[in-house]
A and B are shown apart, each in its own frame.
Chain A
Amino acid sequence: MPEAGVERDDGELVRLCLAGEQTAFDALAARHYRRVYNVAYRMLGNREQAEDITQETLLRVYSRLHTFKQGASFIAWVRRITTNLCIDHLRRRGEQTVSLDRQLEAGMEHADTSAGASPEGRLEMTEDARRVMEALRRLPGKQRAVLVLRHVEGLKVDEIARTMKMPQGTVKTLLFRGRHAVRGMVGEL
């Protein structure tokens, strides 16, 4: 990947890319594809589908780069595209829920385990997280999406509302219902 991508911010890379510098897009893709992939994986629960969505998202970003409003948040734009593609995908596949033990195992093989103080603590955290992630994937698409954006991506309510183009009240309702459903499935954390 080009050295330029390490130092330049997203806005500058977008400008370079629009000027015809292909390496600028390579740098943008390298910077954001893991995040896109993780959001997609949390929402879809399937590595292959997450890869497809990641690819589709970044190619859409590339082909519509001239519509990106300079000065806006690039990652928010990318996240919105990712979320919309995931929701469309869930709708197409009929909101099916999946048993994820196998996929989760596959995911853990590649997991970044640098976070966490002790192996015991990490294991406990991972087990709780695993149960919650399993419960999340049993939720309807939009509930799942708002919970992932809220609790995995750390977005605020108003940011989720902008991302998903829905009123804040709707986001709060989806969060409330989603959390109740998760609590019903995994009990108190």
Chain B
Amino acid sequence: MECSAARELLDEYFEGTLPALRRKDVAAHLAQCAACAAELEQIKRLTVTLAGAPRVEPREELLRAITARAAELPTPGSRWALVAGWRRVAVAAAAVTAAVAGVRYGGPMVWSRLAVALAPGVTWLGKQGALALAWMGPKVEGIGVAAGAVWEVVAALGSALATAWPAMAWYAAGEAAVVGGMILAIHWGRRAAGARIGTLVV
């Protein structure tokens, strides 16, 4: 057995919690390794020394202060205490719902109005660009005509996207917000309810 492996096991060896076979391996290593034996000795001495350290007595007022303050708190597990916990969940849930509703319903409304306002402008700009390039066309031997056609396509796409993509984007954002809200609600719910699932909450 290597020293590093033996030292990993020294605490459990000292505690007596090692399985018999491992214990035998460590004992064999300790018999021939002075450094690891010294390490074990240090563990023993530290334990004995600190076990002998006197316990410190707190002031008597401390206990009175604790019980007096506890008496002012709601009884643990009572409706009032649970309400205190669930109130946080309710606030969080309300905030998430408001955010989701805002994104899902408020967003498209705003965007559709913006789209209605902006789409003619985008289309107009595209057409102006196309006209300008078409006018330049003869001067630059055909390039202007092709560019004008491209601009026509851009203008059409701009017009279509101006109305279509906000709805798509906000739909995706709304779905993401719903999923995110659910994750947050579960997380906060578990915390507020004391995470009875699994181990204890500290």
- Given the complex, which residues of B lie within 8 Å of A65, measured CB to CB? 76-77
Q: How many residues of A contact B (CB 8 A)?
A: 65
Residues of chain A lying within 8 A (CB to CB) of residue B113: none
Q: Which of A59, A68, A80, A188 contacts B66 (CB 8 A)?
A: A59
Q: Flag if B50 contacts A55 (CB, 8 Å).
A: no
Q: Is A150 an interface residue (CB 8 A)?
A: yes
Query: Known contacts A129-B54, A152-B53: does B81 contact A66 (CB below 8 Å)?
Result: yes
CA distance A157 to B11 in the complex (A): 7
Interface check A67, CB cutoff 8 A: yes
Pick the contact of A64 from B11, B12, B59, B201 — CB < 8 Å?
B201
**Are B75 and A116 in contact, with the CB atoms below 8 A?**
no
Residues of B182-202 contacting chain A, CB below 8 A: 194-196, 199-202
B residues contacting A by CB (< 8 A) are 7-8, 11-12, 15, 17, 39, 42-43, 45-47, 49-59, 62-63, 65-67, 69-71, 73, 75-78, 81-82, 194-196, 199-202
Can you name 18 A-B pairs with beta carbons within 8 Å? A18-B77, A20-B75, A26-B67, A29-B63, A37-B56, A51-B58, A55-B65, A58-B70, A62-B73, A62-B76, A69-B200, A84-B202, A107-B54, A116-B52, A154-B51, A183-B42, A189-B42, A189-B49
The 9 closest A-B pairs by CB, nearest first: A67-B194, A111-B54, A66-B77, A129-B53, A65-B76, A110-B57, A125-B52, A189-B45, A37-B58
